[in-house]
């Protein structure tokens, strides 16, 4: 829930801005073993610029379980856009407090792959 109603809600926040607006990123799982796999609906609650990589950390809540988790969208080298590898929407402009249909899997190295995100 936003404490500062003047903030532009769809923008990507800094860590400091997120905390100042009442978000608690530490409540969201980031370990690959705790992130739900498969295709499911989730609500994007907020977005923060990633600290150690060129990416956007997206903080979701899975609709049917209430599970909170974080997925990162990386900057694409060729286009310099913050999209999934398959393209699609730019997460710089993606709306928050909105429902998405997500698909998440693991690759051969057992790393999380954020494959799909479309608004519902």
List, as one string, the DSSP characters of 42-75: EEEEEEEE-SSSSEEEEEEEETTT--EEEEEEEB
Q: Read off the pLDDT band of 1 (50, 70, 90).
A: very low
Q: Is 7 a domain residue?
A: no
Q: How many CB atoms are closer than 10 A to CB 38? A: 8
Total domains present in the chain? 1
Q: Is 107 a domain residue?
A: yes
Q: Domain of 106? A: 15-119
pLDDT tens-digit series, residues 14-61: 999 999 999 999 999 999 999 999 999 999 999 999 988 999 999 999
**pTM, two decimal places:** 0.91
Q: Is 93 a domain residue?
A: yes
Q: Is 27 a domain residue?
A: yes
For residue 104, give the nearest of 51, 29, 54 by alpha carbon: 29
Q: How many CB atoms are closer than 10 A to CB 28? A: 21
- Four-CA torsion 8, 10, 12, 13, nearest 10 degrees: 40
Q: Is 73 a domain residue?
A: yes
pLDDT at 8: 52
Say which residues have a Cβ less than 8 Å from residue 77's Cβ, sequence separation at least 6.
none
pLDDT tens-digit series, residues 63-114: 999 999 999 999 999 999 999 998 889 999 999 999 999 999 999 999 999 9
Q: Is 68 a domain residue?
A: yes
CATH number of the domain encompassing residue 100 = 2.40.50
Q: Is 52 a domain residue?
A: yes
Q: Is 91 a domain residue?
A: yes
Give yes or no for residue 6 having a pLDDT over 90.
Answer: no
């Amino acid at each position: 829930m936003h404490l500062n109603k003047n903030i532009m809600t769809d923008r990507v926040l800094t860590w400091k801005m997120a905390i100042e607006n009442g978000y608690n990123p530490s409540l969201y799982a980031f370990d690959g073993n705790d992130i739900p796999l498969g295709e499911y609906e989730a609500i994007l609650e907020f977005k923060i610029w990633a600290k150690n990589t060129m990416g956007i950390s997206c903080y979701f809540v899975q609709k049917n379980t209430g599970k909170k988790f974080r997925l990162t969208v990386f900057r694409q080298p060729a286009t310099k856009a913050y999209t999934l590898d398959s393209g699609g929407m730019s997460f710089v402009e993606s709306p928050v407090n909105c429902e998405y249909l997500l698909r998440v899997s693991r690759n051969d190295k057992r790393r999380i792959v954020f494959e799909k995100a479309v608004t519902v």
